[in-house]
Chains A and B, each alone.
Chain A
Amino acid sequence: MLKWIRPSGALAFIVVILAIGLFWWLLSDWLLKVSIEAAGSKIVGARVELASADVTFNPLGFQLDGLQVTNPKQPMQNLIQLENAKGSLDLLHLLMGQVIVEEMSATGVRLNTERKVSGEIKEKKSKHKDQQKSGDQAGEKEPERSTLAVVKEKLPSLDEILAKEPLGTLDQIKTFDEKSKSDRVTFEKSVATLPDEAKLKQHQESIKTLTQSKINSPQELKQRKQDLDKLKVAIRKDRDAIQTMRDQLKNARSDLAKRYNDLKNAPSEDWNRLKSRYQLNASGAGNVTRMLFGDSAQVWLTRVLAWAEQAQKFMPRGGDKDSKATAPKRREGRQIHFPTSNPLPDFLIRKAVLTMEVPAGAFDLQLTNVTHQPHIFGKPMRLFAQGTKLRNAEQIKIDGVFDHVKPEQAKDSINWLLNGVSITNIPVSKNAKLPIEISSTRANFSGDLILKDQAIDANAKSEFKDTTWNTNKGEGSESKLAKLVTAIHDFNINGKLTGKLSAPDISLNSNIEDQLKQALGAEVKATQSDLEKKFKARLNKEIETAAGQYKDQLAFLTDKGKTLDQRIDALNKMLTTEIKSAAETKKQEARDKLKDSAKEKLKGLKF
Chain B
Amino acid sequence: MLNSIAKLLKLLNAETNPSQLSMGFAVGMIIGLTPLWSIHNLVLAFFVFLFRVNLSAFILSFTIFSGIAYLVDPVMDQVGGNLLTSPSLHEFWTSLYNQPFWRLTHFNNTLTLGSLVIAIVLAIPFFFISNFIIRKYRQHLLAWVRKSKLVQLIKASKIYRIYNALAGNS
Contacts and interface: CB of A to CB of B under 8 A. Distances in A.
A377 to B, nearest CB: 16
Contacts of B146: none
Interface string A328-348: 101111111111110000000
Given A5-B52, A12-B49, A334 B85 contact: no
Nearest to B19: A4
Given A95-B104, A331-B35, A331-B111, A4 B70 contact: no
B45 interface: yes
A59 interface: no
Contacts of A3: 52
Contacts of B48: 9
A361 interface: no
A396 B131 CA distance: 76
B26 to A, nearest CB: 15
Nearest to A8: B49
B106 A97 contact: yes
B100 to A, nearest CB: 6
A96 interface: yes
A13 interface: yes
Contact of A336 (B35, B84, B100, B103): B84
Contact of A333 (B50, B98, B110): B110
A340 B94 CA distance: 8
A6 B70 CA distance: 32
A348 B50 CA distance: 39
A6 B50 contact: yes
A9 B24 CA distance: 14
Contact of A9 (B51, B84, B85, B98): B51
Nearest to A7: B50
Contact of B97 (A4, A16, A333, A338): A338
Nearest to B66: A331
B56 interface: no
Contact of A337 (B51, B73, B81, B108): B108
B63 to A, nearest CB: 15
A324 B86 CA distance: 13
Given A96-B100, A330-B73, A331-B35, A10 B49 contact: yes
A92 interface: yes
A96 B106 contact: yes
Given A96-B103, A333-B110, A333-B111, A9 B49 contact: yes
Interface string B75-108: 0010011001100001001100110100110101
Interface in B105-148: 106, 108-112, 114
Contacts of A97: 106, 109
Contacts of A338: 90, 93-94, 97-98, 108
- Chain B CB within 10 Å, residue with most, of A6, A13, A95, A336: A336
A455 to B, nearest CB: 34
A339 B46 CA distance: 34
A10 B50 contact: yes
Given A5-B52, A96-B103, A97-B106, A336 B45 contact: no
A414 to B, nearest CB: 35
Given A333-B111, A336-B85, A6 B103 contact: no
Residues of B in contact with A, size category: 20 to 34
Contacts of A334: 77, 81, 109-111
B24 to A, nearest CB: 12
A95 B90 CA distance: 23
Interface string A1-38: 00111100110110010000000000000000000000
A124 to B, nearest CB: 26
B76 to A, nearest CB: 8
B52 A6 contact: yes
Given A333-B80, A340-B98, A328 B110 contact: yes
Given A10-B50, A13-B50, A324-B81, A330 B70 contact: yes
Interface string A312-356: 000000000000100010111111111111000000000000000
Given A13-B45, A340-B98, A328 B50 contact: no
B138 to A, nearest CB: 21
Interface in B38-65: 45-46, 48-52
A92 B111 contact: no
A4 B109 contact: no
A331 B73 contact: yes
A219 B84 CA distance: 155
A504 B114 CA distance: 46
A24 to B, nearest CB: 11
B102 to A, nearest CB: 10
Given A92-B100, A95-B104, A333 B49 contact: no
A331 B73 CA distance: 7
Contact of A340 (B52, B69, B97): B97
Interface in A423-480: none
A328 B73 CA distance: 9
A14 to B, nearest CB: 9
Interface in A140-188: none
Nearest to A93: B103
Contacts of B52: 3-6, 9
Contacts of B111: 328, 331-334
B46 A324 contact: no
A340 B90 CA distance: 12
- Chain B CB within 10 Å, residue with most, of A332, A334, A337, A338: A338
A339 B94 contact: yes
Contacts of B80: 333
Contacts of B50: 5-6, 9-10, 13
A2 B26 CA distance: 21
A372 B80 CA distance: 24
A13 B97 contact: no
B56 to A, nearest CB: 14
Given A96-B100, A331-B73, A336 B49 contact: no
B109 A333 contact: yes
Contacts of A341: 98
A506 B50 CA distance: 71
A96 B106 CA distance: 6
Given A12-B49, A331-B35, A336 B73 contact: no
A331 B112 CA distance: 9
A417 to B, nearest CB: 44
Contact of B49 (A6, A95, A96, A340): A6
A519 B112 CA distance: 76
Nearest 4 A/B pairs, CB to CB: A333-B111, A13-B49, A9-B49, A338-B97
Given A13-B46, A13-B49, 4 more contacts: A6-B52, A331-B69, A336-B110, A340-B98
9 contacts: A9-B52, A96-B104, A97-B109, A328-B73, A334-B77, A336-B81, A336-B85, A338-B108, A339-B94
Interface of A: 3-6, 9-10, 12-13, 16, 92, 95-97, 324, 328, 330-341
